A and B are shown apart, each in its own frame.
Chain A
Amino acid sequence: MMAGEMRKSALMAIDEINGSDEFDFAFAPRLRDPGGIVAGYHTACADLIREEQVDHIVGCYTSASRKQVIPIVERTDRLLWHPARYEGFESSDNVIYVGAAPNQHVVPLVKHMLDHISDDVFCIGSNYIWTWEMNRVIREIVTSVGGHVLAERLLELGETAVDHIVKEVIDRKPPVVFNTLVGESSYAFMRALHAAATRAGLTIPMLSCSLCEPELKLIGSAASVGCVTSSAYFESIEGPENRAFVARWKARHGADSNLSVDGQSTYVCVMLLARAIRRAGSVEVAAVRRAAANHRYDSPQGPVWVDPDNNHCFLTPRLARSVPGSQFKIFWQAEAPERPDPYLSNLDLTTIGACVERSDDAMTKRSNHLRVVK
């Protein structure tokens, strides 16, 4: 599903650029769909670069696919514009990372959990790198304040037999469940847990770093409500850029269709690319990369710009709760776009848990002070 959302958003951005007087060039999209087959990404990119003479590639959702593409974009000096949030610990000169880095997605969510829900957490996720690394970060932060990871349960990708884990959750009644399942596994788990919790008269809070609006619709109204989600984008973001963006999207894809963080991020990728080309006056990779650095774009999700230190983006982390109608209600956002920290090297565990705002300390210039969003 995400691939389709991302392609729709990329094409919408391309049409807008091609129809706009602000750009004196037009994009000619060349589409390839490796269909999630990991080895196919290398072949598709080799083909785009060698046969179509493509300079800039927008795409890849999973880290496995990105890792296939990086060798070839590095070897041929092309740029990959990567829209998806990911687990970090990477920084290629030939990738512009437009999705959130771990300090922009999982860290604010775990801090919220510690401050407002519990120090003890039950983790369930898909058996692959995203979950492994999210669980590591969760464990590191939680244990630094004396909390516990009560369990770490893994399901194979695509697995929808979730009853044994739902039973365990109901039996143990953890104060909170951290869900890093993806796709159908996550939908099946949320539906089954909601049904079982309702039968047992329990309310078990759930956290996610990846849930998005179209998924809420797939899960179904009852089971999808109440999940505390961390993301740089929600369809419900106020502000003229996003309202106009959502209106254009719905005009194009129907009033019932919903935006997603990954779709919006793909749109941002194309816009960042177009603006960098305009600024550079060239499509040449080194010039575009230089032009993209620190060049602010007021995107639907707010101001975004590339940090040339690591080619990731300054983004505004947000926390929201899923509500009926396949939407999220945002209850927190960072005061300003947050510097990307793909290696979490600025994560200071000693300041977590001590949630006192140290405004007198000039050394702690943290941009993620809590701010209530009405």
Chain B
Amino acid sequence: MTKPSPFSVRGRRALMVMRDEREISIVRRQLNRLGMTISEHDPADAPPGETFDVIVLDADTIPIKSDLATAWKAGAPIIALIGTETPSRLKWLLDLQPASFLVKPLRSAGLYTALVVAFDCAQRRMDEAAYVERLEDRIRSRRVVFAAVLQIMRVHGLTETNAFTLVRQTAMRHRTTIEQLSAEIIAAGGMPNRTTRTA
């Protein structure tokens, strides 16, 4: 799968969660120039159901101690507009895990950079999440691998090191993972008799 370039923003969907008319017009004009699809949303309302590629959120429009903050989390990457640099506000912002930010007052310059950084950051987060999931799968299947190695030790009278080497080499030969082969070893009660190679 080709990953979308963070530099190509045309056609992506942006949600503006802002209140200041002057700043709304700056962001709207700039998003239009970039060819993005724009939706606007009142900061006082709960997040909408649809999904977006990026959310431009004016941090100062949402009270710190409100449930709305967490509702914005975990959705699309957030570009935070910052007017207040007090730690109480910044802590609230950190909880939202903004992908990028802009300091108010806004100018036409800067929004494109913020978008690119946000898209890149979102892509990296997805890649990292997928990588962590793979690692977690492997940790979860360690028990299976261990049980398979024990099985091979018993059936073939091998040391642990040699049994593991056999499992690893067999997995490589069959072009499968150690975890997958281990599951098959347990199911078959010994090294499975593979005639076809799995891709």
Contact = CB atoms under 8 A, between A and B. Distances in A.
Interface in B25-71: 60, 63-65
B64 A132 contact: yes
Given A42-B22, A63-B84, A154-B65, A129 B89 contact: yes
B105 A132 contact: no
B65 A127 contact: yes
A133 B88 contact: yes
Nearest to B83: A67
B86 interface: yes
Contacts of B140: none
Contacts of A128: 63
Given A42-B22, A71-B105, A127-B65, A135 B88 contact: yes
B22 A132 contact: no
B4 interface: no
B65 A87 contact: no
A88 interface: yes
A90 interface: yes
B106 to A, nearest CB: 9
A296 B50 CA distance: 59
A154 B63 CA distance: 11
Contacts of A70: 105
| B interface SS class | loop
A136 interface: yes
Nearest to A127: B63
Interface in A200-214: none
B142 interface: no
A132 B65 CA distance: 8
Contacts of A89: 84-87
A133 B86 contact: yes
Contacts of B87: 89, 133, 136
B54 to A, nearest CB: 24
Contacts of B89: 129, 132-133
Interface in A208-233: none
A90 B85 contact: yes
B10 interface: no
B91 interface: yes
A306 B65 CA distance: 35
A67 B84 contact: yes
A374 to B, nearest CB: 37
What is the interface residue range for chain A against chain B? 10 to 19
Contact of B86 (A127, A132, A154): A132
A215 to B, nearest CB: 24
Contacts of B64: 132
Interface in A171-195: none
Contacts of A127: 63, 65
A90 B105 CA distance: 14
Interface in A98-146: 127-129, 132-133, 135-136
A129 B105 contact: no
A129 B84 contact: yes
Interface in A79-99: 87-90
A313 to B, nearest CB: 20
A93 to B, nearest CB: 15
A89 B60 CA distance: 14
Contacts of A87: 86
B63 A136 contact: no
A136 B21 CA distance: 30
Interface string B76-116: 00000001111111010000000000001100000000000
A136 B22 CA distance: 31
Interface in A14-70: 39, 42, 63, 67, 70
B172 to A, nearest CB: 55
Nearest to A154: B65
Given A132-B65, A136-B91, A88 B86 contact: yes
26 contacts: A39-B20, A39-B21, A42-B22, A67-B60, A67-B84, A67-B104, A70-B105, A71-B104, A71-B105, A89-B84, A89-B85, A89-B86, A89-B87, A127-B63, A128-B63, A129-B89, A132-B64, A132-B89, A133-B87, A133-B89, A135-B88, A136-B86, A136-B87, A136-B91, A152-B65, A154-B65
Interface of A: 39, 42, 63, 67, 70-71, 87-90, 127-129, 132-133, 135-136, 152, 154
Given A39-B20, A42-B22, A67-B60, 12 more contacts: A63-B84, A67-B84, A87-B86, A89-B85, A129-B86, A132-B64, A133-B86, A133-B87, A133-B89, A135-B88, A136-B86, A154-B65
